[in-house]
Amino acid sequence: FFCYFLPFNEHFEQAPMYVAVFTYLGFGVGTLFGYLRDFMRAWGLEKCHLATEREEQKDFVPLYQDFENFYTRNLYMRIRDNWNRPICSVPGPQFDLMERVTDDFNWTFRFTGRCIKDVINMGSYNYLGFAETDANALKTVADVLQRYGTGVCSTRQEMGNIDKHVELENLVARFLDVEAAMVFGMGFATNSMNIPALVGKGCLILSDELNHTSLVLGARLSGATIRVFKHNNMQSLEKLLRDAIAHGQPRSHRAWKKILILVEGIYSMEGSIVRLPEIVTLKKKYKAYLYLDEAHSIGAVGPTGRGVVEYFGMDPDDVDVLMGTFTKSFGAAGGYIAGKKELVDFLRTHSHSATYATSMCPPVAEQIIRAMKCVMGLDGTTQGLQRVCQLSENTRYFRQRLHEMGFIVYGNDDSPVVPLLLYMPGKIGAFARRMLDKNIGVVVVGFPATPIGESRARFCVSAAHTREMLDTVLNALDELGDFLHLKYSRHSRSSHPELYNETSFELED
Partner 1 sequence: MDIKHAKDYLYWLYFQYLLITCCYVLEPWEQSMFHTIFITVFAMVVYTGYVFVPIHIHLAFEFFSQIFGGQHESTVAIMN
Nearer to partner 1, 74 or 390 (CB): 74
Q: In what order do the strands lie in the sheet with 204-208?
A: 180-184, 335-339, 321-325, 289-293, 259-264, 204-208, 225-229
Nearer to partner 1, 78 or 352 (CB): 78
Other C-beta atoms closer than 10 Å to the C-beta of 217 total: 17
Nearer to partner 1, 348 or 438 (CB): 438
Number of amino acids touching partner 1 (CB under 8 A) = 21
Contact positions with partner 1 (CB under 8 A) in 386-425 = 424-425
Distances (CA, A) of 312 to 48, 302, 325: 55, 8, 20
Amino acid at 403: H
Nearer to partner 1, 79 or 198 (CB): 79
Nearer to partner 1, 76 or 286 (CB): 76
> Do 205 and 219 meet the contact criterion of CB atoms below 8 Å apart?
yes
Report the nearest approach of partner 1 to the CB of residue 79 (Å).
6
- 33 lines the binding site for partner 1 (CB under 8 A): yes
Q: In what order do the strands lie in the sheet with 440-441?
A: 94-101, 110-121, 440-441
> Do 311 and 282 meet the contact criterion of CB atoms below 8 Å apart?
no
Choosing from 10, 11, 30, 155, the residue that interacts with partner 1 (CB under 8 A) is 30
What DSSP state is assigned to residue 310? H
Distances (CA, A) of 100 to 40, 113, 232, 431: 28, 8, 41, 18
Report the nearest approach of partner 1 to the CB of residue 42 (Å).
17
> Do 64 and 100 meet the contact criterion of CB atoms below 8 Å apart?
no
- 453 lines the binding site for partner 1 (CB under 8 A): no
Choosing from 75, 131, 197, 464, the residue that interacts with partner 1 (CB under 8 A) is 75
Q: What is the four-CA torsion angle of 418, 422, 428, 431, rounded to 10 degrees?
A: -70
Nearer to partner 1, 20 or 245 (CB): 20
Choosing from 79, 237, 374, 445, the residue that interacts with partner 1 (CB under 8 A) is 79
- 105 lines the binding site for partner 1 (CB under 8 A): yes
Bridge partners (DSSP) listed for residue 358: 155
Rg, Å, the chain Cα set:
25
Options 28-36, 174-182, 327-335, 439-447: segment touching partner 1 (CB under 8 A): 28-36
Report the nearest approach of partner 1 to the CB of residue 22 (Å).
5
Options 180-188, 316-324, 449-457, 477-485: segment touching partner 1 (CB under 8 A): 477-485
> Do 182 and 169 meet the contact criterion of CB atoms below 8 Å apart?
yes
Report the nearest approach of partner 1 to the CB of residue 270 (Å).
24
Report the nearest approach of partner 1 to the CB of residue 132 (Å).
37
- 484 lines the binding site for partner 1 (CB under 8 A): yes
Tell me how far apart the alpha carbons of residues 263 and 336 are, in angstroms, rounded to a whole number: 16
- 370 lines the binding site for partner 1 (CB under 8 A): no
Report the nearest approach of partner 1 to the CB of residue 29 (Å).
5
- 39 lines the binding site for partner 1 (CB under 8 A): no
Tell me how far apart the alpha carbons of residues 509 and 506 are, in angstroms, rounded to a whole number: 9
Q: What is the four-CA torsion angle of 459, 465, 466, 471, rounded to 10 degrees?
A: -20
Choosing from 430, 438, 447, 453, the residue that interacts with partner 1 (CB under 8 A) is 430
- 356 lines the binding site for partner 1 (CB under 8 A): no
Options 62-70, 71-79, 85-93, 463-471: segment touching partner 1 (CB under 8 A): 71-79
Please name the helix (run of DSSP H) or strand (run of DSSP E) that holds residue 107, with its range, or none. none
Residue 125: name the closest of 455, 368, 463, 457 by CA: 463
What is the SS3 string spanning 314-335? CCHHHCCEEEEECCCCCCCCCE
Contact positions with partner 1 (CB under 8 A) in 244-303 = none
Choosing from 12, 13, 15, 26, the residue that interacts with partner 1 (CB under 8 A) is 26
Nearer to partner 1, 202 or 426 (CB): 426
- 485 lines the binding site for partner 1 (CB under 8 A): yes
Judged by the rule CB under 8 A, the positions of this chain that interact with partner 1 are: 22, 25-27, 29-30, 33, 36, 75, 78-79, 105, 424-427, 429-430, 483-485
